[in-house]
Amino acid sequence: MFVTDIRKEFYEAVADQRVALLVASDIDALCACRILQALFQCDQVQYTLIPVAGWQDLGTAFLEHKDQIKLLIKQDDDLGVPSYDEIFRDDDEDEEGGDSGNESDEGTEPSGKRRRFDEGSVERRIERQREKREWEARRREILFDYEQYEYHGTSAAMMFFELAWVLTKDTKDMLWWAIIGLTDQWVHDKVTHMKYVTDIATMQRHVSRHNHRNEDEENSLSIDCMRISFEYDLRLTLYQHWSLYESISNSCYTCCHFKLWTLNGQKKLQEFLADMGLPLKQVRQKFTSMDMSIKENLREVIEESSNKYGMKDIRIQTFGVHFGFKNRFLASDMVHATTALLESTEKDENETDNFIKALDSLSRSNLERLHSGMDLAKKKLIAIQQTVASCICTNLILSQGPFLYCYLMEGTPDVKLFSKPMALTLLSKYLLRAFIQSTRNKRCRLLPLIMAAPKDVEKGTVLVVGIPPESETSDKKNFFGRAFEKAAESTSSRTLHDHFDTSIIELKTEDRSKFLDALITLLS
């Protein structure tokens, strides 16, 4: 069923029912869930929240609740995809069909028959047939692309915020969640830069509307107020909650540019800090403890020096939020913290506990949980940077012909962190960019990357992720989902295609070699 009016065909249809909310394990889905929860609370809609990590969880949830679930679908005759002839009605043929049986009493030829042989009618029919062939060829091409590649559209959180806006029930909290959902797509490199900038502009209009609406409110300067602002901020991860030195060292953009896994890269970083005129004592302490005189013009100073060192994109369009007078966060800070909580590998915590903690961290009334997420995010970013350095320095990235391949061995430091899909995906994208900066082989720079890490040692499984080639003009379409399916089928490899992202699969460790051989043959 295609929903063309989300208000009438979705929200009004479920508003008087008890709703089962099936929420995937990613940040955009969590933000969309928070917006829907707020809407349901406004309209007193009862709901059950069910976290689903993949297709198996989705099937289990459906079976558990199938007696209570009503599927809202149209009648069978409304479900069929229309044919070309139904979309483009042929008025001339209708007229011909209507007149074809009207013969005169004198026995003259039927008027429809005369029209059928009319020269203009024949030309029109030929033109229509040509258009029909072109339309069907285009349809096949679109369906092939849709089934062959995986890509992301508009953020789910943004879509549900638009619904809240249409219902005139949107709040600043909902707007902030929509912004976090959009930023998740940028942080995890799911959409093109153009798509991100376009959606940022949409969110900016909503931010201006809300800020203008609340200008005269009495609580606009209260201790628990919330202020969202458009920012042109630095691409330095968590720098306002870390030291500037640590942030530069562990941010993908700066680390890859300076090649910080080399001695020469470390020297360049020292030169970069000296060029900015920032004392090491200042950049190595927490950002909040730095001198105010340094912090006031810090962004401009960093941007000026970055341009000298070839980092012309050091600043990015984003949003920031103030909770009261003390707490300030960028949208990307929220994404990293919530992701770290969602994929926490701490002992005695299961996936459901992590899901609830991540959901709670999005609430401004639970800042302690958010700060604990930031601490976990810092550990993860350090682990990613160290793993990238180790993989490049020990030549773990191998060219397998049509793609690059890297396998993290059991016993690698922090390998448990990368048994989670988002963490391994982030590592893979970071590693591919770092490898492109370090290799002299021009052909390897155009290749995609397949990365594998131990998933469950007891079960003998590995997690495999496929990353498309890295380029500025990349359309972010991933073809590995179909390739993984075909390779597993042709070799009878024991795989689990359970993740909603089809380019992430689980594979039996002993089937790894034959699976890779099949992929090489398939993609060559």
Interatomic CA distance for residues 153 and 143, integer angstroms? 16
Residues 6+ apart with CB under 8 A from 486: 518, 522
In 3-state terms, what secondary structure has residue 198?
helix
Report pLDDT for 94.
47
As for how many domains the chain has, the answer is: 1
Taking residue 456's Cβ as centre, other Cβ atoms within 10 Å add up to 12
Under the banding of pLDDT at 50, 70 and 90, the label for residue 72 is very low
- Whether residue 332 lies inside any domain: the answer is no
pLDDT tens, residue by residue, 218-251: 445 555 688 899 999 999 999 999 999 999 999 9
Under the banding of pLDDT at 50, 70 and 90, the label for residue 74 is very low
Interatomic CA distance for residues 466 and 406, integer angstroms? 11
Q: Taking 80 as the threshold, does the pLDDT of residue 51 lie above it?
A: yes
Q: Taking 50 as the threshold, does the pLDDT of residue 448 lie above it?
A: yes
- Whether residue 278 lies inside any domain: the answer is no
- Whether residue 62 lies inside any domain: the answer is no
Q: Give phi and psi for 70, each to the nearest 5.
A: -110, 125
- Whether residue 181 lies inside any domain: the answer is no
Under the banding of pLDDT at 50, 70 and 90, the label for residue 77 is very low
Interatomic CA distance for residues 42 and 29, integer angstroms? 20
Report pLDDT for 80.
43
Are residues 19 and 45 in contact, defined by beta-carbon separation less than 8 angstroms?
A: yes
In 3-state terms, what secondary structure has residue 11?
helix
Interatomic CA distance for residues 183 and 177, integer angstroms? 10
461-467, strands of its sheet edge to edge: 398-399, 404-407, 449-456, 461-467, 504-508, 495-496
Under the banding of pLDDT at 50, 70 and 90, the label for residue 274 is very high
Under the banding of pLDDT at 50, 70 and 90, the label for residue 106 is very low
Report pLDDT for 123.
81
Interatomic CA distance for residues 88 and 66, integer angstroms? 40
Report pLDDT for 412.
83
382-402 burial, b for 16+ CB within 10 Å, e for fewer? ebbbebbbebbeeebbeeeee
DSSP 97-120: HHHTT---TT-PPPHHHHHHT-HH
Are residues 324 and 227 in contact, defined by beta-carbon separation less than 8 angstroms?
A: no
Q: Give phi and psi for 3, each to the nearest 5.
A: -90, 115
Q: Token pair 């903690």 is at which residue?
A: 357
Report pLDDT for 519.
93
pLDDT tens, residue by residue, 179-192: 999 999 999 999 99
- Whether residue 326 lies inside any domain: the answer is no
- Whether residue 439 lies inside any domain: the answer is yes
Are residues 213 and 222 in contact, defined by beta-carbon separation less than 8 angstroms?
A: no
Residue type, 387: T
Report pLDDT for 87.
52
Residues 6+ apart with CB under 8 A from 434: 255, 256, 259, 261, 388, 392
Closest CA to 330 of 339, 322, 338: 322
Closest CA to 247 of 214, 293, 278, 211: 278
In 3-state terms, what secondary structure has residue 346?
coil
- What is the pLDDT averaged over residues 278-283? 90
Under the banding of pLDDT at 50, 70 and 90, the label for residue 203 is very high
Report pLDDT for 105.
46
Answer with the residue of higher pLDDT: 108 or 338. 338
- What is the pLDDT averaged over residues 85-102? 49
Chain centroid to Cα 201, Å, comes to 18
- Whether residue 105 lies inside any domain: the answer is no
Mean pLDDT of the chain: 86
Q: What angle do CA 294, 296, 301 make, to 5 degrees?
A: 70
> What end-to-end distance do the CA atoms of the chain give, in Å?
38
Answer with the residue of higher pLDDT: 425 or 440. 425
- What is the pLDDT averaged over residues 142-163? 85
Report pLDDT for 103.
46
Residues across the chain? 524
What is each CA distance from 488 to 304, 449, 518, 520, in whole angstroms? Answer: 51, 18, 8, 12
- What is the pLDDT averaged over residues 136-154? 80
Are residues 71 and 217 in contact, defined by beta-carbon separation less than 8 angstroms?
A: no
The whole domain housing 409 covers 395-523
Interatomic CA distance for residues 58 and 443, integer angstroms? 41
pLDDT tens, residue by residue, 311-364: 999 999 999 998 877 788 999 999 999 999 999 988 777 888 999 999 999 998
| CATH code of residue 407 | 3.10.310
Instruction: Output the CA torsion 9→15→17→20 (10° steps).
Output: 80
Interatomic CA distance for residues 291 and 421, integer angstroms? 39
Strands 19-24 and 47-52: parallel
Tell me the whole-structure pTM to 2 decimals.
Answer: 0.85
Q: Which two tokens stand for residue 189?
A: 């490199």
Under the banding of pLDDT at 50, 70 and 90, the label for residue 73 is very low
